[in-house]
Structure 1
Amino acid sequence: MTENTITSKNVLIAGGAKNLGGLISRDLAEQGARAIAVHYNSESTRQAAEETASAIEQAGATAHLLQADLTTAAAVRKLFADAKTAMGSIDIAINTTGMVIKKPLSEITEEDYDTIFAINSKTALFFIQQSGEHLADRGKLLTVVTSLLSAYTGLYSIYAGSKAPVEHFTRAASKEYGERGISVTAVAPGPMETPFFYGQETKESAEYNQNAADLSKFTETGLTDPRDIVSLVRFLVGEGWWITGQTILANGGYTTR
């Protein structure tokens, strides 16, 4: 059904400058999106955001760069207001923002807790809230979480813990926004081949993750290829709109429920 494709849609992508978010930004432009608002967090990410914006323009879409620290409700409200002003409407909203802390429970500080929950949980809640207010009817809302939500492991307590509420936010939003035809999903990748993964891993733990998925030997590195997540996101915010309220584990058999 053409009304559920990506063609001519306006897209807002939080964390859309680099890594998975940057790939999604570029892909949706190539799929025919009309305009893409690319959010980036700080000056350190500006160059990546500008490179992504250039790729979007080369693909035929209009790019809008929006910088913000999204750890306050006011900042998320302003992001949506600015995106709507820039594009006129928002048809698809995708949140890829996140951070990782990997350490034993005994070493977790109050500052660690406050920081990671502000980024992974608080930002996600208010992004979902503002999506409900600003998305056009028949819109799509997607949040990136983690396959560690279904893993039985140590050291990732506040990372997985701070992402876990997003499942509940997603289910509630799908019920509350469904009467307007808005689909709401979360995608939970396995460990991905990005700098985001390697920053907290040792050589030994990286090697374990490179061999842990059932399909590991069929990939270049054994990790989740971000391009496989991009294709799933493309489907869910396009023709896969009938899937709603779900968290999709996309990890090649790394873990399941």
Structure 2
Amino acid sequence: MENKQKIAVVTGGSRGLGKNMAFSLAQKGNDVIITYVNSKTEAEALVKEIEAIGRKAYALQLDLNNFKSLDGFISSLSSTLKEKFKTDKFDFLINNAGMGKTIPFEQVTEEIFDEFLNVHYKSVYFLTQKSIAHMNEGGRIINLSSGTTRFANPGYSVYASMKGAIETLTKYFAKELGAKGITANVVAPGPIETDFNNAAIRSNPQMKGFLATLSPLGRVGQADDIGGVVAFLCSEDAKWINGQRIEVSGGINV
């Protein structure tokens, strides 16, 4: 099946950063498949928003903490591409899905560690591996990391160390998938005012104010500070960017 229309898969695309990424990609002329864990209503609402601007969209359920569900998801993705998009391959994989907790190092349990390991590293590793056979040559992989791999934020030892692993893994994606014309890059946001980590920034004005003082621009980030960067990295203008970590943090702790 020939695929002329570019298709992006955005994990965790129903809310927050992922929602803005998906919509930004659609605004740039791409069709979009988003995944959600529990937010089916929000996901379906975003699908309608994307369809309203003339692009195709579809939502699939995916829980990265349930590692054994990956094969079933890939099967659903393949069926969706054929039935809804009339093709057998997609172009862009945006590994955005994640969860957050602020936990002091000495209080981290094995259960919490394993959940972060599944969601932020193991499932990203193998979802990407299983997706390659369904990606077009010349595709793009965008992995989401965090400013906290560059500067330490107490309570983020698990989250940031997994993201550090993702940053190393991205270089290997770039190196080993280059023969297929597939590039791989990291986008690393700084503090963003969304519902991530139980809306830690949005619901805590004192924290928000403090974080704003760390940026030369005097504010924390918003979702629309990130989505356009991801869409750019999936554009022809970014075809020669590969194996890079691009921090989108307003220059925090510069």
Tell me the CA shift for residue 113 of structure 1: 0.8
Q: 1:71 aligns with which of 40, 65, 74?
A: 65
Q: 1:11 to 1:84 in 2, by over 3 A?
A: farther
Q: Supply the RMSD in Å over aligned alpha carbons.
A: 1.8
* CA–CA separation in structure 2 for the residues paired with 1:82 and 1:169: 26
C-alpha distance after superposition, 1:124-158 (max 9, x if no partner): 21232123332110001111111110003322111
Residue 56 in structure 1 maps to residue 68 in structure 2: no
C-alpha distance after superposition, 1:58-107 (max 9, x if no partner): 11112211012123444233323322322221111111111112121121
2:97 — aligned with what?
A: 97
In structure 1, runs of 5+ residues without a counterpart are 1-6, 217-221
Identical amino acids, percent of aligned pairs? 28
1:81 — aligned with what?
A: 75
Moved more, 180-189 or 149-158: 149-158
* CA–CA separation in structure 2 for the residues paired with 1:182 and 1:75: 25
1:223 — aligned with what?
A: 220
Tell me the CA shift for residue 197 of structure 1: 5.2
In structure 2, runs of 5+ residues without a counterpart are 82-86
Runs of 4 or more consecutive aligned structure 1 residues displaced over 4 Å after TM superposition? none
* CA–CA separation in structure 1 for the residues paired with 2:186 and 2:52: 29
1:240 — aligned with what?
A: 238
C-alpha distance after superposition, 1:195-227 (max 9, x if no partner): 2156345543332112211122xxxxx111221
* CA–CA separation in structure 2 for the residues paired with 1:63 and 1:104: 40
Letter in 1 for 2:166: V
Secondary structure (helix, strand or coil) at the match of 1:86 reads: helix
Pairing 1:164-243 to 2, within 5 Å after superposition: 164-196=164-196, 199-200=199-200, 202-216=204-218, 222-238=219-235, 239-243=237-241
1:160 — aligned with what?
A: 160
8 Å contact 1:101–1:116 — kept in the other structure? no
Pairing 1:132-147 to 2, within 5 Å after superposition: 132-147=132-147
| TM-score, normalising length: structure 1 | 0.88
8 Å contact 2:34–2:58 — kept in the other structure? yes
* CA–CA separation in structure 2 for the residues paired with 1:179 and 1:49: 34
Moved more, 129-138 or 179-188: 129-138
* CA–CA separation in structure 2 for the residues paired with 1:78 and 1:193: 33
* CA–CA separation in structure 2 for the residues paired with 1:73 and 1:99: 15
Residue 31 in structure 1 maps to residue 25 in structure 2: no
Tell me the CA shift for residue 122 of structure 1: 1.4
8 Å contact 2:140–2:183 — kept in the other structure? yes
Q: 1:226 to 1:199 in 2, by over 3 A?
A: closer
8 Å contact 2:25–2:231 — kept in the other structure? yes
Q: 1:254 to 1:95 in 2, by over 3 A?
A: same
| TM-score, normalising length: structure 2 | 0.89
8 Å contact 1:128–1:173 — kept in the other structure? no
Secondary structure (helix, strand or coil) at the match of 1:38 reads: strand
C-alpha distance after superposition, 1:211-245 (max 9, x if no partner): 211122xxxxx111221211111111112121111
C-alpha distance after superposition, 1:148-177 (max 9, x if no partner): 100033221111112111011100010111
